[in-house]
Chain A
Amino acid sequence: MLQLSPAPHITSPKNIKKIMYGVVGALIPVLMGSIYFFGWRALFLCSLSVLSAIFTEWIFQRVTNRDIRCLDGSAIITGILVAFNIPVNSPWWLPVVGSFFAVFIVKQLFGGLGYNIFNPALAGRAFLVASWPSLMTGNWTPPINGTLSGIPVLDGMTQATPLSLLIMKPNLNVIQSLNSPTMIKTLFIGNTGGCIGETSALLLLIGALFLFIMGYADWRISLSYIGSIFVITGIFYFLGVTPVNPVFHIFSGGVMLGGLFMATDMVTSPVTLKGRWIFGICGGILCVILRLWAGYPEGVSYSILIMNMFVPLLDRLQVRIFGR
């Protein structure tokens, strides 16, 4: 019996599972780093988060009579990223609720894989920040072998990560330490306070490099997002609008995690090259505005979520059709 499949009869080696598990693999070094910096609780919360994401997806697909594809890897990514976006001494239910919200409301209710408008993990984080702000933004613990702020001595400012120091109107000494090469080095390595998976720029860059080489993420989005933050904060630093240098800005907070792993989410970013550049640059501009002038110290998640909303519009920027 001859089989009849439509052309083409060969396919490229890339498939959904490889892409999804490739992203999971790229997140593993970051997870290992966070275990090293914050202890086993990082792994514990991450596992809970992943299990919650998979279980939510399974239940939903079961109840709604859809194909069960909860192990295609996308729910695992969402679970890991939700955990990466919370502080390490959060209660156990925080990542569970975050992943549930991300998968159930943000992903499945919008149609499941490929149809969600917002990055599920980021929307999950936004939900947690809005619901339990003190747990999400005021509940920091220092890394095992370091200090919370990455600076040795700080009067009355022990409860702050490097980034949150910024909106506390720091004195000149603090600003000097924030701009010091030691600070940059600490931020690059990741031995400082912050959410579970956001502190180590180095490990995030290693993971992202793998994604770029494999073609599982588009470097243009990361470059335009992080690059525009760097350039704008650089100009503002020069003009005296922000007291800290642009290197501090891109290595602190969630810029690396967001710019490398969240903004590049295929489902919620534009499909054209032009659209991706605009997406990244506008996201970067928004992030700087939110960081410098909004109530929260961080602007990464909202900047990407806002840009997610513009994706359908950006997709209309079709490149000119051949010969048209």
Chain B
Amino acid sequence: MQLLTFKGGVHPKYRKELAKDSPIKKIEPPEFIYLPLTQHTGIPSKPIIEKKDEVEVGMKIAESNGKLSVPLHSSVAGVYMGLVNWPHPLGGRKEAMKIKLDPQRTFEWKEEERDVDLFSEDQIIEIVKEAGIVGMGGAAFPTYFKMKVPPDKKIKDLIINGAECEPYLTADHRLILERAEDIFKGVEILKRVLNPERVWIAIEDNKMDAIDRIKEFSSSYPWANITIHETKYPQGSEKQLIQSITGKEVPEGGLPFDVGAYVQNVGTVIAIYEAVCYSKPLYERVVTVTGPVRDPSNFLVPIGTPFEYLIEASGGVFGGTMQIINGGPMMGIAQVYPEVPVIKGTTGILVQNEKETLEREVSPCIRCASCVDVCPMYLMPTEIYKFIELEDFEKAKELGVLSCMECGGCGYVCPSYIPLPQHFKYAKAELMKEKK
């Protein structure tokens, strides 16, 4: 068996065993749901309902607000309570639509299956936009926008991302095991729109059962090629995935279609399938709740469900809650408020107890170059960091800081516990300011 991989990267403890055998469980909605208008990269959506309005599951409650923006749908049936200033999982407080659940109106999404062939490529893209679909692997980039490939760019390789390299998280793993056929059906839709030469389904070799599951369908969907990747972080990163499969590097500042590639996460593919074939908008997603909780789980949750509700549903934390993280341990963001809601890009909730939370005393850089060795973008984090300390952002830019995707590999290996990715985030923000 030939394992595909990329240059650089790290091997953290994956701890996927905590939640990987827990089947996806639909969770009862909480009493209140908070839907931040900022669900994705781009422009926040704009509310289209009034306070006290009754809402249904899947009802459009906010519309897309220009380019790079998608609508937002209610994830429960109930009453709209108005806009509140609510904690946001990406930091700070942002406007969120508060909805009070009506427990009497239980709901299952039941729509007749539609024939994909009825729609043109443009109609499919419009459906995807109207369904509010964004990349569900974490980046939350509006999918319709990505699907609109410029006419001069030809997609050769369509890559379905089932790598799920972030430690602890198992949502995509469960989706592959439980909904493999839906993934294939979703890919067929993407194939229609993009018309690629080859289709790849990429999975890391720590998920052999998922690979076997996909292989069961190889006779029904002969166009799909399965690629098995070495378990190494960040294999699931778009650029690294393209590099491992095609050998091509996305140019600096460029996009995957510049090398004829298109990557879509398995969760997003299922959302596309449900939107196109069942007119179902994106109002729920699978979230892994893991760490030192009594019952690590993969929940199918209404978007807008507060983190604390889900942590409670997994049996609560043992050892004292110290940190609640939106996402996994490598890239996840520590939360100030436990009532922060799940958004479309929330892949998981990781809890760390007192023992696991890092007490980091930062030491000077000893130039061990571990960060240089592991950087999958071939940067020299130690050098860039020193220029950022001197506030020389131009030099940092020259050394490639804008190529940093904040995967956290350098911060993970740094023996001096220097929070390198945070410095790069800061430098990138400063460079953005200058640009404006």
On A, residues with C-beta under 8 Å from B are: 2-12, 14-16, 18-19, 69, 72, 74, 112-115, 215, 218, 266-273, 315, 318-324
Closest 9 CB pairs of A and B: A8-B408, A114-B364, A271-B369, A6-B422, A321-B400, A322-B377, A9-B329, A323-B252, A323-B249
Inter-chain CA distance A85–B367, complex, in Å, is 24
Interface of B is mostly: loop
Known interface pairs A11-B358, A15-B415, A324-B252; A267-B372 also in contact (CB < 8 Å): no
15 contacts between A and B (CB under 8 A): A5-B334, A9-B352, A10-B358, A11-B360, A12-B10, A15-B417, A18-B415, A114-B365, A114-B366, A215-B370, A267-B367, A271-B380, A321-B377, A321-B379, A324-B403
Residues of B within 8 A of A268 (CB): 367
Residues in B whose Cβ lies below 8 Å from that of A112 = 364
Q: Which of A9, A114, A323 contacts B332 (CB 8 A)?
A: A9
**How would you classify the secondary structure of chain A's contact residues: helix, strand, loop or mixed?**
loop
B9 → chain A closest CB, angstroms: 12
**Is residue B13 contacting chain A, with contact meaning CB distance below 8 A?**
yes
Q: A8-B411, A9-B323 are in contact. List 5 more A-B contacts (CB 8 A).
A: A7-B330, A9-B358, A266-B366, A319-B378, A323-B251
CB distance from B153 to the nearest CB of A (A): 16
Among A14, A113, A271, A320, which residue has its beta carbon within 8 angstroms of that of B363? A113
Partner of A266, one of B363, B369, B376: B369
A318 CA to B373 CA in the complex, in Å? Answer: 12
Which residues of B from 377 to 419 have beta carbons under 8 Å from A? 377-380, 382-383, 399-400, 403, 406, 408, 411-417, 419
B254 contacts the other chain (CB 8 A): yes
Q: Is the CB of A16 within 8 A of B363?
A: yes
**In whole Å, how far is B288's beta carbon from the nearest beta carbon of chain A?**
15
Do residues B377 and A266 form an inter-chain contact, with CB atoms below 8 A? no
CB contacts (< 8 Å) of A215 on chain B: these are 370
Interchain nearest-CB distance for B326 vs A (Å): 10
Q: Are A5 and B366 touching (Cβ within 8 A)?
A: no
Which residues in chain B, 284-330, are within 8 Å of chain A measured between CB atoms?
321-325, 329-330
In-complex Cβ contact of B413 among A14, A113, A315 (8 A): A14
Contacts of B12 in A (CB 8 A): 8, 10, 12
Instruction: Name the B residues within 8 Å of A9 (CB-CB).
Output: 323, 325, 329-330, 332, 334, 350, 352, 357-358
Q: With A10-B13, A271-B372, A322-B378 as given contacts, are A113 and B358 in contact (CB-CB < 8 Å)?
A: no
